[in-house]
Every structure is written in C-alpha cells, then in structure tokens.
Structure 1
Amino acid sequence: MSTTQTASLGRASLVTWYTLFALLSMAANLGAQKLSWWTYQGSFGILLSVCIGTGVGLVVKYVLDKAWIFRYEHRSVAHGIQTFARYVAMGLATTAIFWAMEFGAQALFHTEAARLTGGALGLALGYFAKYQLDKRFVFA
C-alpha cells in the first residue's frame, strides 16, 4: 500500500470516528436538553435546558476527542485543567454558532422540534470548525 493510500485510510478513519463522536455528543447534548425541559418548563426553561445540554455535550466530546481523536495525555493535573480551559475557550465561538441556530429556529417556528433541529444543525457546523481549532490550539 502506498503512503498516499495509508494516509487516506488514516484520514478516512479519523473523519469516521470524529463524526461518530460528534453524533454521540450531539445526542448527549440534545438528550440532556430534552430531559431538562421535561423536568422544568418554567421561566427561562429553554435557556436552562440549552445550557445544561451544552455542558453535557462539551464534557462528552472533550473526553472522546482527547482519548480517541488526538490521543492526548496530560503531563499533570494542572496541564489537564489548562487543556480543558483551552478546549472550552475554543468552543465559545462554535457554541455561538450552535446557539444562534437553535434560538433562531425557536424564534422562527416556536416549536421544540424546530429548536432541536436548529440545535442539531448548529452543532454539526460548529463541530466542523471546532476540529480545526482544537487541532491547532488545544491538542497541539
């Protein structure tokens, strides 16, 4: 097998695993939102559910990316905290994309299904950008 074929297979595998982990994280995020919304539908219920879902999805994606995509090991607890902090910082811009799409869908269509669909689309776009940011600034 040529070097190009080997690199291509490696890249295809990486894309497959990253996509799978993004889908798992999206399911965790949207599932946590749904559970939160079922639990509390009062004032700021949607905002609370989106924040809880975002936090759950963030932790799931970080653990999977660190271990399986970037195969990254921390040198110490302090280094691990710094790495997670950079991961969160890189996620701020991508979270803005996700939230804009989710809240935009809610504002336009006023249904939970539309809001979650907007969230899923925003997450997909955000994860595409997040990989590039994480590769360059978090797990370098």
Structure 2
Amino acid sequence: MSSPAAGMTLTRTRLVFWYSVFAAISIGANLGSQSLAFHLYQGTYAVPISVCVGTAVGLVVKYLLDKAWIFRYEHRSVAHGVRTFALYVAMGLGTTLVFWIVEFGADALFHGEAARLTGGALGLVIGYVTKYHLDKRFVFA
C-alpha cells in the first residue's frame, strides 16, 4: 500500500488531515484493546493493566503509521530501526503521562469505563499534537 502522499510533499492541510486520521486509528486501537483487556481480565489491577495494554498497542500502531505515511522514514539498518523506535518511545513518555493523568482523572471524577475511555481519548489527542512536534524534531529528523 502506498502512502497517501507518496511521491509528493505533504501540504500543511494534507499533513493535518492524515495525521488526524492516523491518530484516530491509533486512538481506536488503544481504547479498543484497552476495553478488550478490561473485559477479559477484571481482577486486581484490571484498569492499570488494561491501560498499559492499550498504550502498548496504540504506540506500535501510531509508530508504524507515522514512520511510513507521515514522515516517510526508512531505517538504514536493524540497529538504526531499533534506535529510532527507542527514541520514539522516549519522546512519548511525557505525552503518555499526560494521557494517563487525563484518563485516570476522568475515572476518579466520574467513575466508570465510559468516563475513563473518554478521558483517555482527550488525553491522547492532547498528547498526539505535542508528540508530532517532538517526533518531527527529534525522531524522524
């Protein structure tokens, strides 16, 4: 599958559009896998475990989409790919903290899965806007 912008420079409008589409896909992957994990396991620490599962799934989905379609970035070697992914994860630590604070804050204020997932979606949107600028400058430069 070729990138929506293959062979051309993304205009600001196209960049915002495609980044938003991929953020929505990643949010869906994160919250969907989070919900699935929560429903599969409701024992001790079910919420934190489900949030970690969702975060991991969303991270991998977003990385693959950003790398291939937004930044059109190719690794020079396996080691370079591992280093790039590690840097991507490092840039996401702060934005993940924001996401978790908003998600757990919504859960604490409004109680329940719907409130938690809504807070998670809002936290992810805030995080992704910030993360784009970090990734552009430090990861896929």
TM-score when normalising by structure 2: 0.93
What CA distance in whole angstroms lies between the structure 2 residues aligned with 1:103 and 1:43?
16
What CA distance in whole angstroms lies between the structure 1 residues aligned with 2:21 and 2:98?
20
What is the CA RMSD across the aligned residues, in angstroms?
1.3
What stretches of structure 2 of length at least 5 have no aligned partner?
1-8
Question: Sequence identity of aligned pairs in percent?
Answer: 69
| Counterpart in the other structure of 2:49 | 48
Once the two structures are TM-superposed, the CA of residue 111 in structure 1 deviates from its matched residue by 0.9
- Aligned to 2:11, what secondary structure does the other structure show? helix
| Counterpart in the other structure of 1:29 | 30
Q: After TM superposition, list the pairs within 5 Å mapping 1:105-120 onto structure 2.
A: 105-120=106-121
What CA distance in whole angstroms lies between the structure 2 residues aligned with 1:127 and 1:109?
24
What per-residue deviation string (whole Å, max 9, x for no partner) do you get for residues 90-140 of structure 1? 000000000000000111111110000000000000000000000000000
1:88 paired with 2:84, answer no
What per-residue deviation string (whole Å, max 9, x for no partner) do you get for residues 19-76 of structure 1? 0000000000000001001100111000000000000000000000000000000000
The amino acid of 1:58's aligned partner reads: L
Higher helix share: 1
What CA distance in whole angstroms lies between the structure 1 residues aligned with 2:95 and 2:113?
22
1:10 paired with 2:11, answer yes
| Counterpart in the other structure of 2:61 | 60
TM-score when normalising by structure 1: 0.93
| Counterpart in the other structure of 2:40 | 39
Structure (1 or 2) with the larger CA radius of gyration:
1
The amino acid of 2:42's aligned partner reads: Q
- Aligned to 1:71, what secondary structure does the other structure show? coil
The amino acid of 1:92's aligned partner reads: L
The amino acid of 1:16's aligned partner reads: F
